[in-house]
Structure 1
Amino acid sequence: MAITSPAAILAEHGQPLIIDDITFDDPGADQVLVKLFASGICHSQLHQIHSPATPTPTLIGHEATAMVEKIGSNVNHVQEGDHVMISWVPRNAARGQAPPAQPPIRWGSRSLTFERSPVYTWSRHSLVDQRYVVRIPKEVATDVTCIVGCAILTGVGAVLNTAKVQPGESVAVFGIGGVGLSAVQAAANAGADPIIVVDLDDDKLAFAQHFGATHGINASHVDAVEEIHRLTGGGVDYAFDAIGAPKTQEQILHATRAGVLGYEEGGMSVLVGIPQQPISLDMKLLVRGQKTYQGSWGGVTRPEQDFPMYLEWYQQGKLKLDDLVSRRYTLEQINDAVHDLEQGQILGRSIITFDA
């Protein structure tokens, strides 16, 4: 049976998204049809919208909460009526696992793709491979928790899973958006001290203190690396780049402490933001400082294990999602949402909410 539902469609690079109906069939054997409660609006979607590498027309979005409406014959971990989380990171991932085949989705006479992500969530309904669906308790809020599927798993995972920050270790986070603030909260929950945040916006720096930051540095006023060294007496144990800009990629290498020859290793620089162009780094700093430069793609997340812990943190007040979600839009307001994110008007994370 053909199903019709509204969605945000990227029809042309750099142009406003089009809100229109898309059409698809009932779930295949390994698919789940969901009706969305809310979807996060991630900065990486701006790259999709503007990049000529993104195929068009395409569907966008990769973190959401939803209710299961129909399941395929091979699906047994969720049932119709369940509340679920949608993420671009698969459950039970295995080395060499092939990506799922995309279901045929139509926009009028044209075929739609979502090749830059295994899911799409800027839509009223979504047809998703079962690997990207995780059941959540019905008593958990379904609006603010939608950002667990990307912002939280990326920022928190970088701190807990990639870096494995321990109590008393020092942390610096460059870029205080949704991912950066998630990293700050994870560092605070891990017992890190100090937790230094770096940004160009005083409002964001002040906002970060609510999530556990102990010091804020406005990099437009001072040399951020020099200030980190001054505050820590030689550099932090871990520096996280939640932006991925050429300058911040280099700064996190300089911001970490050097090791002591024959005694201890140096600090770790963790690149979380998505680089958009190649850069050059001084590898002598890695060798002589015995430092580590590590990438973190999705925070080494295992959704079936990590998501329940993040939701427990939220219920305990240790993950302040209600404060992190600072602005809400309807699907019809998606172009306003994109504009506001591009203009740096979002403290934390913005989301799309749908009528129940």
Structure 2
Amino acid sequence: MPKPHPLATSSARQPNPCLATPPISTVPDNLGVLPVFAGPIRPHWQAAARAKGFDIVARVLDRYHLRLRCQTCGGNMVSKLYVVTSSCPICPHCLTARRQATANAAGVNFLGQDADRPAYGFFRADCGHTLRRQFEIVERAARGTTGLRCEICLIRREEVEARRLGWQRVGNDTGRSGYYRLYRHRCGHVQSIAPVNMAWGQCDCAGCGQSWSSRPSFIYLFDIRLPAGAGQAARHYLKLGYSAHPDKRHRHQLGLPPGAEVEVLRILPMPTGHAACAAETAAHRRLTRAHPGAVVPADEFAGVIKVTREIYRPALRAVIEAEMDKIEVGADAGRLGSSAAGPNDTMGQQPGEDKDDMADDRRPTARRTRPDRDGSRHGAA
């Protein structure tokens, strides 16, 4: 009597219904009559197959393949021998039924698996368009933790929203994240805008508009020195930002404590607030990626400076000024175009940003503010 194969009695190898994609050596038996391979079916093969929910019907094609019958649905399939003995076959008929049920729960109809990418499938949405999604995403949609969105319908909706406000949707802004689109205004100006801002009408043309985004602005560099107090030692920071009125920015909007000293190290004129926002945002991105250790954590200056970011260590001054040199060269050459926009492509100010369109339009001059004896501050030439 031959000894039973260990898989025949092992409880460790059970069918795995959670496996999303069947092995490539497991295919549906949809080929009709298959040539039978003349050879015995070993008892431990049959035991292993039954332990995993299948019966071996015959050996087919060659000595490496078996024809299996699923004990759940009765469907036939072809699998390699080593999958039966060493892994867990997946019934493609049951898998298709599970995927269809999951798709129905997600509000779509399962059309089939992507032959080139087994983790993806094709689904038909209620609008009639075909979606290509990962099965994992469809499972999340079925659980209600995410949604399935038709790209074609999304584009059409964005086009309608843009036309309502005098814009034309050009396409995705490939130079930024997927949350921004390029729009052409009726005046011909092309601008990068977040679709949610376009939907709410919170956008203004930087070419012909009258809001902050189309008016001249400045990129500034502040040297901020905070006095010691409340268990804190004296602190020294640099702040890079943009504002239509840098003087007002550091005098009235940063919320600095009495005794704080601010020196305006540099002011760079920009043609529009839109261009200033784009250049400043790109500079911050480069600085934070290249010099993460020079970025001051927000909790270090919380309560004394009314911003949540854009604060750096003084040792980074030369690098920041080099970034401003690049911005100045681009501004002089007219390369700060309209296709790059920062987070402020809306007419309303985003929290923590440096937009100010309330004061007059005088160009600020570099100066230092120092505390008076009564704790107030004034500018000294």
- Give TM-score, length-normalised by structure 2: 0.22
Greater relative contact order, per chain length (Cα 8 Å cut-off, separation 6+): 1
**Which of structures 1 and 2 has the bigger CA Rg?**
2
In the superposition, the TM-score normalised over structure 1's length comes to: 0.24
